[in-house]
Chains A and B, each alone.
Chain A
Amino acid sequence: MHSKEQAAQPQSNGENGNHAKVRKTIPIDLEPSKRFVLPSKKRYEPQYAHIYFCRLTALRPALESTARVIFGPPSDKLHHAKRIVNVSSEGANERETVIIGVVFRQMTKPSILALYEQASHDLIPAPPPRATAPYPGADDTVFLEDENGRCTLDMSGFDQIPDAFVTGFVVAVKGKEDHLKGTFKVGSFTPVLAAPQPTLKPYEEDAYICIVSSLCLPQPSFGVELLGEFLKGNTLEEDEAFAMNTVALVITGNVIGHVSDTPTHQPLAVGEKERIASPMVDADRFLSGVASTLPVFYMPGEHDATNYLLPQQAVNRCLLPSASRNSNFHRVPNPLLCEMAGRSLLATSGQNVEDFALYAAESAKDQQNDNQMLERDPVNKGMYEADGERVLEIMGNMLKNRHIAPTCPDTLGSYPFYERDPFVIERTPHIFVVGNQKEFGARRIRVSTEGSQSSDEGMIVEGEICGTVCLVSAPRFDKSGQAVFVNLRNMECCVREFAVDMQM
């Protein structure tokens, strides 16, 4: 729907002017997001191996029991190997074996070392940019490894490599070792399946959270203005109730747009400093305006002014001086995990899904026999973007594999965590949002109890609660003018468009 400001509409008398409208408030708990907050003394000494190791140890016990349910208990015919290396132990050739490990895909990834070989002018090549097209040769080699060893998986039994075999996921596979070839022929596999979900307590009132991403300031955008006014309650009468029932704005990244890198060794030109600072000034104005009427959660995205490696830390207050003065304004990390009215919300600014989509892209395309799954977006630097359906599928797989950023740290930059992998999903959230996507998509998927693994989504939890997850692919606002509203009462989603004649 289009939300248009009309002259006839009584205007609010500024920020403090309150009508009869009453903003609904809900209890909000940001404590869970601490897992994505880095310590003040950062350490870059530890190596990336620890993340994989922590991930594996965190997921293995649950995966072992899932594997027993899915593949059956150990028997004469089936061996559950404790570690990958035990595959080739006595008699294993005769029976099938289940092994558990971290997936690693070997393929042509952006590589700084490769740049050294080409480099003729750069004495010290800069790191390669993030891949924008699907990784070529993604079918080349799939490894499964644990702390004891790595084996090559023979995936010839599959038409295409399933999503569960994206680098960094922890999976259990059943099959046989081919000693001569030194490979493990995969017959079937299982992810760990979704983590337990806390009971959803009833919440009987309509309360919407608004989700937007890619406002891309300072692009002159009428849409952003409209959105702001709507959230403040300055809207059509018929929308007023809806607006006032909107209890929070969650910005899933990219309040500011992509700024081309300026070389640091050259002094900034006159006016350049202002140009770089100006998006933040606009952002500060917008955010402080909105925060005066409802709680605002600002997660950084790829282009926001914060660190690059995931998890991205909250944007520094000095960049948003007026918004930061408002207690309704919350600078939060990306990813974000919090509770709103007893609903747990997990959100990322999209890098995790974008990188994931590059793995299975080619094969997904083959299967679909058209480019339904992925399209080349001419506006966004030729970056491949998955469509809404595919994004939801990927999100579902992340829940099933209990990991929101499997490709960290291999193809997605990550802080070198030493003792934990914060991206492991310990509890299945009620709402899972991914921002900055090509198009809107939403779906509620069932999280069913153990034993009924044949349900559509194939989800299993260890607990007894039967629940649902609301998956949301939040579109880029700069392209679509759309904001997503999730009703905390019933988890229903709708999308509203705040744009007049948006040019795509």
Chain B
Amino acid sequence: MGASDLQTVKVRDVWRRPPLPNLNPQADPLVVMQVDVSDDHATEGNGSAILRLFGVTEQGNSVLLRVHRFYHYFYVPVLPGVEASALNEALNVALSKKHEGMSHRIVVHVRVVTKRNIMYFVPGDPEMQFFRITILNPRYMKETASLLQSGGLRVETPDGLKPLPELLTFESTLDYALRFMIETGLMGCSWLTVPASKYKLVPHGQRESHLQIEVDVDADDIISHKPEGKWLTTAPLRRLSFDIECAGRKGIFPEPQHDSVIQIANYVWDHGQPKPIAKVVFTLKSCASIVGADVLSFEDESSMLSAWREFVRVTDPDILTGYNIVNFDLPYLLDRAKELAANDFPFLGRLRRAKTTMRKTRMSSSAFGTHESRSFSLHGRTVFDMLQLITREYKLRSYSLNSVSAEFLGQQKEDVHYSIISDLQNGDEQTRRRLAVYCLKDALLPVKLMDKLLALTNYMEMSRVTGIPLGWLVSRGHMIKVVSLLHRKSHQVDLLVPDLKRNMGEAGASDGPQFEGATVIEPMKGYYRDPIATLDFASLYPSIIMAHNLCYSTLIRPLHLSHMNSSDYTTSPSGSHFVKKTVKKGILTKILEELLAARKKAKKDLKEAEDPFLKSVLNGRQLALKISANAVYGFTGASVGKLPCMDISASTTAYGRQMIESTKAEVEKRYKHATVIYGDTDSVMIKFGSSTSLEESMRLGEEAATAISEVFPKPVKLEFEKCYYPYLLISKKRYAGLLWTNTKDFDKMDCKGVESVRRDNCRLVANVISTSLELLLKKQDLQKAIDTVKQTISDLLQNKIDISLLVVSKALTKTDYEAKQAHVTLAEKMRKRDAGTAPSLGDRVPYVITHGSKNEPAYSRAEDPLYVLEHNVPIDNRYYLENMLRKPLERIFEPVMGTKVGSLFVGEHTRTVSVVTSKKGALMKFAKIRLSCLGCKSPVNEGAICKYCVPKEAEIYMKHLDSVTKLEKVYASLWTECQRCMGDVCHDVLCSNGDCPIFYRRRKAQKDLDYASEKLQRFELDW
């Protein structure tokens, strides 16, 4: 197939959106599910803003709503003697000085409204007057607000022109789009209707987007629907998942300044549909065709990029997805286009003239840590990077696409190292086809992951519950959700949220109370063979906030205390004062009550629902509600957040601690033999007695939960959910046990904080730990556990452990590490050996620790596992025992064995040590290999055995035969596995997926079989 050109790219009709039904603006209402709001707003002739809403109809047609006549506003408290009109005038005068020659007035009007400040309860709860300052266009918001914040604005008063003091503004930092959504009651990903005759179709020539429907509407004509009942459905969102391949130079990770993009593979797949709409791969240079996929080949990279951009426009996805597209694929494409001066490329959004730009962002949040990331202006398309999402929501050993798909999809994935990619690209159309198939698979997996994890469904529900656009959930932190909830509620009840300057909030905000150790009851370490009942506070923090009416709006300043009736407020254990519910219900309480009521309803509906898609929606809903409720506490404690209030967060945790303590006291008071052995954030672990049965413990647990709940104010509720039996309590936040919720069978083994997921451990550690725990807990067989550990240690020292279990891998991030690190040193070593295959920046470097010479530090003894296999380099098994296994093992065995734990590491099983003879090394160069008898090892000249062993020949033969047949089985099972996984039987397996458990083993099987069959062959000498 020759290379095609942009013009000749055959666009299949199925790639497009469904055909547009006849839409008569006079007769048909327009019903749209809103998906995105544009960050940047168009401007009308009069200077006001046009808000762009992107959405999809039920039939899957794409829509742009250009919303007119919605004005942004903010508040300042009314100042005595200042008239609204005077303030209006003064602001416009000041602003027009800055914007000389502008014909329209920036401040549209200033009105006096009656509201309250959300902060603090003031005795009598008086209303206050505020100026609401409405401005023409949100782009002037910041400067308008700052005129008032910085003070000095001269306003005409009855006493003449007077400078204003510094004023606290309210709600000026609220996003324009969010302000619009709050005002119209529009939630994220929810439906809206524009009645017939209330919208105007934009004629084709004047359209600013590529969408199927583009209309002008008035903000007041938008009717939004709560996502309930018939509006619970979702429109079919279109997803484009893509993956690019780049031709790197030998040994260097691809750089857009030098290395071309050679392939872009795509899957277009509507959400909720069983099959994709398009499977298309764009290739640089010809590529043999692939059944079921379209291959579009180009001789020129710029044409390929342009064609892809065209493809994006034609398929018109709502969502762009992939794996690491935010930090690799998208930036690479944009940078590469810049390098090639492909100026028509960066128009990937939905607006014709809006160039796609990117900027670096830094997102810090207590929950996710600090991340450097990028954001893109894609106008109407939401970027949904599955890597970001998975790193956020799941804690895994490794986040490579290989291990993530192994984890969630249960499939290992072939991995082609980028050093091979260039070779494949430089081959012929067949090798490029090979690459394309691989690339397609990488484009498919993110969609599969998204569906498997219900990521899109759950995020859409989160968007509906919290009322923020879908894209913000991905690009912004946790806080924005609560900001939206808080503003929505405040808007309803006429409360105003002040604009706090960052870090200007409460004193001592640098370290939030959520970092204070939440452990209340020190663990009584040990191995418990009796059932341990666990009482949990259901949604502890939300219920504390509700029970004690903790809120911004109920917090009383100390100065007002004297004016308060002491029966009207409570003082929290941390010393803050909040007014009681009977006087004024806090807004946080209201928000939480609604969230929890909605969750109850969602759960009830979920039980009744039958349609699987609806079920997943409802499940997503209840999850989103739970997460949102729990986020409220974090929001009040986030020192860099929008509205931190340490009084609330500190009081919440203080109440929590107090409740755990009083639970302990209550339990030990009510049950004579009971001991509380540990209490964490929201749970207490109770041992009811030394020989209490499981049934009895469960019954007592149930009883205690009900009884003790009475002690606490509503809605705090203590629940009994599970027993641990047996239970291994290692230390704070580290424990393991079998979890029982019924008396018949345990549910699972529950491990917290135990070394099994940490990725800087080798697999051996995780395996030994989980095996030991399994034996200790499931089998309750201490002796067997000890024996297994000893056996493993013995195997380790005798070199019988598979190398894949010993591999540690670390990402190579910076070349100039100050401290010497194993993987950095190894990467250097490998570069000297062969620059072509050596790992480069960004790669994960797998290594094992080898023997090395005496006193050589561990970091310089790291070696490439493949090299170790190839050259029989001896592994430093002692190092693994002492530095990797010992500590974790001691931790879990100490509670069981006490001081005898040391016996695991000394004794008979540690005496036999074997070290393989290296084929590399100084001495080996001079050694001459001589045949020896396979029976008695005495030297022989030829054949298998010496003359003295002849009588035993059959026996010796059988021994060697046995090892050959065993190895043959291993060999065959491993290599057929890889051949199957590759999805192709006619080509060699190229996979370099070091995360796969059989990657090293299959190589070893080859070597071992070679060696063993060579020995066996010596018996065949006289065939």
Contact = CB atoms under 8 A, between A and B. Distances in A.
Interface stretch (A205-213, A273-281, A441-449, A481-489): A273-281
A277 B958 contact: yes
Contacts of B410: 117
Nearest to B800: A265
B977 interface: yes
Most buried by A among B291, B800, B983, B1001: B291
Nearest to B1016: A307
Given A87-B291, A184-B291, 14 more contacts: A42-B1010, A44-B1013, A89-B1, A117-B410, A120-B771, A148-B433, A150-B983, A181-B275, A306-B961, A309-B972, A317-B1023, A318-B954, A319-B958, A410-B979
A410 B980 contact: yes
A309 B968 contact: yes
Contact of A147 (B430, B770, B974): B430
Interface stretch (B245-253, B330-338, B986-994): B986-994
B279 interface: yes
Contacts of B1001: 124
Interface string B798-822: 0011100100000000000000000
Contact of A121 (B14, B774, B805): B774
A128 B973 contact: yes
Nearest to B277: A180
Contacts of B955: 273, 277
A416 B965 contact: no
B935 to A, nearest CB: 12
Interface of A: 40-45, 47-49, 52-53, 56, 84-89, 102, 104, 106, 109-113, 116-117, 120-121, 123-124, 126-128, 145-152, 177, 179-184, 264-265, 273, 276-277, 280, 305-309, 316-319, 321, 409-411, 413-414, 416
Given A123-B802, A182-B293, A52 B961 contact: no
B289 interface: yes
B14 A180 contact: yes
A49 B985 contact: yes
Contact of B988 (A43, A49, A306): A49
A42 B998 contact: no
Contact of A307 (B774, B801, B805, B965): B965
A379 B615 CA distance: 49
Contacts of A56: 986
B766 to A, nearest CB: 10
Contacts of B1014: 41-42
A307 B968 contact: yes
A47 B768 CA distance: 33
Helix, strand, loop or mixed for chain B's interface? helix
B292 A183 contact: yes
14 contacts: A42-B1017, A47-B975, A49-B986, A88-B291, A112-B977, A116-B997, A120-B774, A146-B986, A147-B987, A150-B984, A409-B979, A410-B980, A410-B985, A414-B972
Interface string B951-981: 0011101100111111011111111110111
B788 interface: yes
A109 B981 CA distance: 12
Contact of A413 (B289, B972, B988): B972
A48 B792 contact: no
B984 A145 contact: yes
A416 B433 CA distance: 25
B977 A151 contact: no
Contacts of B771: 120-121, 123
A41 B1017 contact: yes
Nearest to A57: B986
Nearest to A51: B985
B986 A112 contact: no
Contacts of B767: 123
B290 A308 contact: no
A148 to B, nearest CB: 6
A42 B964 CA distance: 12
Contacts of B985: 48-49, 52, 102, 104, 145, 410
B1020 interface: yes
B367 to A, nearest CB: 30
B764 interface: yes
B281 to A, nearest CB: 13
A127 B998 contact: no
B291 A305 contact: no
B1013 A316 contact: no
The 5 closest A-B pairs by CB, nearest first: A182-B292, A151-B291, A127-B973, A413-B972, A308-B965
Contacts of A104: 985
B973 A40 contact: no
Contacts of A149: 288-291, 433, 437
A146 B410 CA distance: 27
B289 A116 contact: no
A316 B433 contact: no
A309 B970 CA distance: 11
A498 to B, nearest CB: 28
A305 B958 contact: yes
Contacts of B971: 44, 309
A461 to B, nearest CB: 27
A414 B976 CA distance: 10
Contacts of A124: 801-802, 805, 1001
Contacts of A112: 970, 973-974, 977, 998
A182 B764 contact: no
Interface string B1006-1023: 100110011001011011
B169 interface: no
Nearest to A280: B954
Contacts of A308: 964-965, 968-969, 972
Contacts of A150: 291, 983-984
Nearest to B771: A121
B954 A182 contact: no
Nearest to B983: A150
